[in-house]
Structure 1
Amino acid sequence: MKKPIAWILDSTAYVTEEFKAHPDVYVVPLNLHFGLEEFVDGVDLSNEQLYQRIKAAPEFPKTSQPSAGRFAELYEKLKEEYECGIAIHASAKLSGTIASSVSGAQMSNFKLYAVDSMALSYGLSGLLERGLELAEQGLEAEAIALQLEAETTNFRNYILIGNLTQLYKGGRMSGAQYYIGSLLQVKPIVQLTPEGELAPIDKVRSHKKAVQYLLNHAKQDHADYGVNTFQVIHANIPGEAESVKQEVLKFAPEANVLIGNISSSLAVHAGEGTLALMWRKPPQ
């Protein structure tokens, strides 16, 4: 008898140890390109090696989505074990991964419900947590996918980019947005919008004030909506991430505050020193 649902993520997601060990969760990695060299996200390079390469690379590193063939290979195996799959992918405005996933499912004749998270990182893994919860409640796969799509607007994120030049050269930020963020001594607060686009939403005059901006919004949603799970992601600045966690615990001492490294495929665009605070509002 086949199991009901396979859960698929791409490697832009923040993948917890729990998800890595989950028997029904599968992660398809993106590719990293340094010149003619190609690496598999999260597999071929440690965090330390990644940032060393970024600093030393004469050309800006690039990423590419997994091919439809790679997804088809996975889905050929999954259709023997599962009735269907729910794939939660990075925003289609930022990556073509979801298109490759859908094509791979068609090639392998695997029944797949593909969800555009309109997000990155914890935006994907938070939806996975919610999907598993809905499955435990007995919802069918199609109903779960529809509910997850409806809840993408519950994702909140505030991001301090470590290197705006990398983001701009990588094509993830327009020239006008880059110009605004590059003004003298201005620290832009960047956000993944509800439409799945990356855009600056505010700017402050110091890094300290920028971090406080993130914390103020987290504190407000904790008070207004009872948010009690927060995700601090960072690019090679664990000390600062821990400091943000401790600040969150001051206004929400009972909260679950997770700290995680930004994925390699995101780090090549955002740059070392990136810091983000993310959470999901409870479904209403």
Structure 2
Amino acid sequence: MKKPIAWIMDTTGYVTEQFKSHPDVYIVPLNIHFGSEEFIDDGIDLSNDELYARMKSSKDFPKTSQPSAGKFAELYEKLKEEYECAIAVHASAKLSGTIASSMTGAEMTDFKVYTVDSLALSYGLSGLLERGLKLQDQGLSAEEITQRLEQETTDFRNFILIGNLSQLYKGGRMSGAQYYIGSVLKIKPIVQLTEKGELEPIDKVRSHKKALAYLLDRAKADHEQYGIDYFQIMHGHIPEQAEELKAELLKFAPEAEVLIGNLSSSLAVHAGEGTLAFMWRRPPASV
């Protein structure tokens, strides 16, 4: 007898220990390129420390590429022998072509894959997959789970403090004038993934202290209004700052659970070293 649901995610999401050990979760990595060199974003081919060291020393600006449709087809061909269907949760289609590759791979194999655009990255993606596993335990069907996850994409809240302006400049996401002014004035841009899955700048601050206060004010508001007690802090090679943010959060939410993790390599390539992302989910409208 086939198992009911296989779960698929890509490495723009935060790969938790639960996902690594779960027998029904399959992780499809993106690729990282330094010139002609290609690495798989699996934490083994290129560790987080090695990535940041290369980003500092390499003359080539790193790039990422989505897994091919053939890569997904290869996985789905194997899974259809073991599972009735799959639910694939992927990075926002506005930011990555991974979801398109996944859908094409499913079509190539004639395997039923329910595809969810998380409209997010990092833990925004991972949190949906965690939620889906819980809904499966509650007895919901794959179709019902997919519909629920799609409804809950708008519950995600995130505030991303960009730590390294030079990474944005090298990647062509900031003009030379913006980079110069930002560097001189020590401006720290804050961006956000919108409900449409797009990255948009929402504010600028002039000091680390003010940046933390900005993030904490928004967390405190949702904690008080919605009783949020689970937060995620993803960071670009700055664990001390992540711990500092956690300590400040626990001052007004002492019972809160706080997960701290590294940005995946495929995200760090774009966000740069020193980035700090603060995330949580508001309670879903339907439980």
Name the TM tier (shorter chain): over 0.9
Instruction: Find the aligned partners of 1:186 and 1:239 in 2 and give their Cα distance.
Output: 20
Which letter does structure 1 place at the counterpart of 2:154?
A: T
Partner of 2:154: 153
Partner of 2:142: 141
TM-score with structure 2 setting the length: 0.94
The alignment partner of 1:70 has SS state of: helix
The unaligned stretches of length 5 or more in structure 2 are none
- 5 Å-filtered alignment, 1:1-284, equals 1-41=1-41, 42-170=43-171, 173=173, 182=182, 184-284=185-285
The unaligned stretches of length 5 or more in structure 1 are none
Shift of 1:199: 1.2
Instruction: Find the aligned partners of 2:256 and 2:23 in 1 and give their Cα distance.
Output: 27
Shift of 1:153: 0.7
Tell me the alpha carbon deviations over residues 201-250 of structure 1, each in whole angstroms, 9 at most, x when there is no partner: 01122121011111111111111111111001111111111111111111
Instruction: Find the aligned partners of 1:227 and 1:202 in 2 and give their Cα distance.
Output: 23
Which letter does structure 2 place at the counterpart of 1:20?
A: K
| Contact 1:164–1:181 under 8 Å retained in 2 | no
TM-score with structure 1 setting the length: 0.95
Aligned residues: 283
| Contact 1:181–1:187 under 8 Å retained in 2 | no
The alignment partner of 1:93 has SS state of: coil
The alignment partner of 1:84 has SS state of: strand
Which letter does structure 1 place at the counterpart of 2:219?
A: A
Instruction: Find the aligned partners of 2:116 and 2:180 in 1 and give their Cα distance.
Output: 32
| Contact 2:34–2:61 under 8 Å retained in 1 | yes
% identical equivalent positions: 71
Which letter does structure 1 place at the counterpart of 2:38?
A: E
| Contact 1:177–1:199 under 8 Å retained in 2 | no
Which letter does structure 2 place at the counterpart of 1:214?
A: L
Instruction: Find the aligned partners of 2:100 and 2:175 in 1 and give their Cα distance.
Output: 26
Distance 1:178 1:117, change over 3 A: farther
Shift of 1:164: 2.9
Distance 1:121 1:249, change over 3 A: same
Distance 1:148 1:212, change over 3 A: same
| Contact 2:5–2:84 under 8 Å retained in 1 | yes
Which letter does structure 1 place at the counterpart of 2:28?
A: V
Instruction: Find the aligned partners of 1:190 and 1:159 in 2 and give their Cα distance.
Output: 5
| Contact 1:86–1:112 under 8 Å retained in 2 | yes
Shift of 1:176: 11
Shift of 1:182: 3.0
Which letter does structure 2 place at the counterpart of 1:6?
A: A
